[in-house]
Amino acid sequence: MPGEDNEYQRKLMDLIRKRDEIDEEISRNAEVLEREKNVGMDEPLTDREDFPRADINVPLVRQARHAIIRLRNDRKELMEQIEKAMEALHAEARSTGSSESRSDATNSPQLTERKPFAVIKHVEPDSPAFLAGFKSDDEVLEVGSVNHLNFSSLNDIKLVIDSSENSRVRVLLRRKEGANTRLVLAGLVPKKWKGSGLVGCAVLPLAKT
C-alpha cells in the first residue's frame, strides 16, 4: 500500500540521517587526529623511551580514537538496519507491483536535490572502488556526510575515507548511460589492498556552478 511504502521510506531516511550524524562525528574526531601531527588510529603515543609523546596531546588523541572506534561500531549496526530497511522498502514495492530498483530508493526529495561535486576516474581492477561498483566518469553526489553543500576540497573526502577503514561508507553516484542518467547507491569499504591507497580510484573535483 502507498501509505506503508511511505512509512518504509520515512524509516529509511531517518536511519540515513542518523548515519550521516555519525559520519559527521567521525569526521570531527578524525580532524582532531589530523591536527595532532596526523597520528591516525595506529601511530604510537609513546616515544622511544616509552614515555608519552611530548609533541601531541596524548589524552585528546586517545579520546578521539576511542570515540572513532565506538562510532564505527555504531555505524556498522546502523548500516545493517539501513540494509534491512531497504529490503523492506523494495519488498513492499514488489508486492504492490512496483518496478523500483535499489537505485530508485534514492529518489526522495532529500537525495534528488543533491548536486555532483566530484567525478570518479581510473577505477583499478579488484580495488575497493571496483568491488563497490564504481565506474569511471561516475559523478559523486555524496560520500558519507560530504555533499555539495559542505564540500570544500578533496580533503573532506579523504577524512571520511581514512576514518572509515574497513567500515562501509555510503556513496551516492550519478551515472550516465547513453542519453539517460540514474542514481547508484554504493557501499564502499575503504581498506588496504594490493594497490595504493584505501580506495583504488582517482577522484577529481568539479567546478562549482
Give per-residue pLDDT as tens, 25-50. Answer: 998 999 999 999 999 999 999 999 99
Would you tell me which CATH number, out of the four given (2.60.40.1260, 2.30.42.10, 2.60.40.10, 3.40.190.10), belongs to the domain 2-205? 2.30.42.10
Name the pLDDT band for 13 (thresholds 50, 70, 90): confident
Are 85 and 11 a contacting pair, CB within 8 Å?
yes
Prediction pTM value: 0.51
Which pLDDT belongs to residue 94? 54
Domain ranges, ordered by start, for the chain:
2-205
Which pLDDT belongs to residue 190? 94
Which pLDDT belongs to residue 108? 45
Going by C-alpha positions, the residue among 174, 140, 173 that lies closest to residue 157 is: 140
Q: What is the pLDDT of residues 90-135, one digit of tens each?
A: 566 556 544 333 444 444 444 446 799 999 999 999 999 999 999 9
Find all residues with CB under 8 Å of 182, minimum gap 6, and list them: 103, 174, 175
Q: Which of 12-21, 37-46, 63-72, 110-119 has the lowest mean pLDDT?
A: 110-119
